Amino acid sequence: MEILVVRDNDIDIDIKKCTNILNQICKNVKFKGYNTPINLGNPDTYVDMEKETTILNQKLSHRKRDYTLYVTYRKHPDNYFAHSIRNTMIWSFWGWEYYTNLPLENGLFYIIADILALRIDRSFRHNELTGCIYDFLWEKTGIDIGMKMAHICEGCLERIKNKVEGCKTLEGILMDLVEILNVLSNASRWGKSVFDIYIWMRMHWV
């Protein structure tokens, strides 16, 4: 599985550094960062999901990938963090500073973990806030707890273990998901960037 990460020109996030670290953490899923921001030509504050997904995939038609993640500061009309159409997700960082003081790169790691979790199993989401990656996050401030706890709860872990059993592809995705959550939680619970904690972990744990 290869995930291509693309950013709008309105958001300052080091996609290259994020994907480089993710590729060092993960052994099965591969990550690519698109070299330049892509403007989808919408001056509106709100994301037009159908239109912009079509434009995005047209602009990326030369790039082979299994999944596309596009990040922007513009917001969805319903103010959800994300919407997806088939294998393309548009994630909105709108209002991020009101939900958490953690940096955008931590949010990107959370998004990637969410994508992988749903790739394994889409049958269940927590309506309440638990800190599990399968939380729906009806209340967007829950993203802060989600990044700091960044775990798979016992019930969800049991369910997805049954889901991945005997499927090497899903087993590999689960292994990578756990590694991403470990880095994310170790950074976020101390108010640190995943960039900083990854360097520290390599110095002390490897």
Distance CA 192, CA 186 (A): 8
Q: Coil, helix or strand for 163?
A: helix
Per-residue pLDDT for 72 more than 90? yes
Q: What is the mean pLDDT of the chain?
A: 93
Per-residue pLDDT at 141: 94
Burial classification of residue 160, based on how many CB atoms lie within 10 Å of its CB (0-12 exposed, 13-18 middle, 19 or more buried): buried
The torsion of the CA quartet 43, 44, 49, 51, rounded to 10 degrees, works out to -50
Per-residue pLDDT at 43: 72
β pairing state of 82-85 and 30-33: unpaired
Distance CA 139, CA 152 (A): 19
Confidence of residue 202 (pLDDT cuts 50, 70, 90): low
> For 198-201, which contacts have Cβ atoms below 8 Å and span 24 or more sequence positions?
198/21, 198/24, 198/25
Distance CA 184, CA 179 (A): 9
User: Locate tokens 């989401």: which residue?
Assistant: 125
Average pLDDT estimate for 65-76: 96
Distance CA 206, CA 72 (A): 35
The torsion of the CA quartet 194, 200, 204, 206, rounded to 10 degrees, works out to 50
Give pLDDT tens digits for 107-145.
999 999 999 999 999 999 999 999 999 999 999 999 999
Does 3.40.390 match the CATH number of domain 2-205? yes
Average pLDDT estimate for 151-163: 94
**In the chain, domain spans:** 2-205
Give pLDDT tens digits for 74-106.
999 999 999 999 999 999 999 999 999 999 999
CB atoms within 10 A of CB 206: 5
Cβ–Cβ < 8 Å for 177, 117? yes
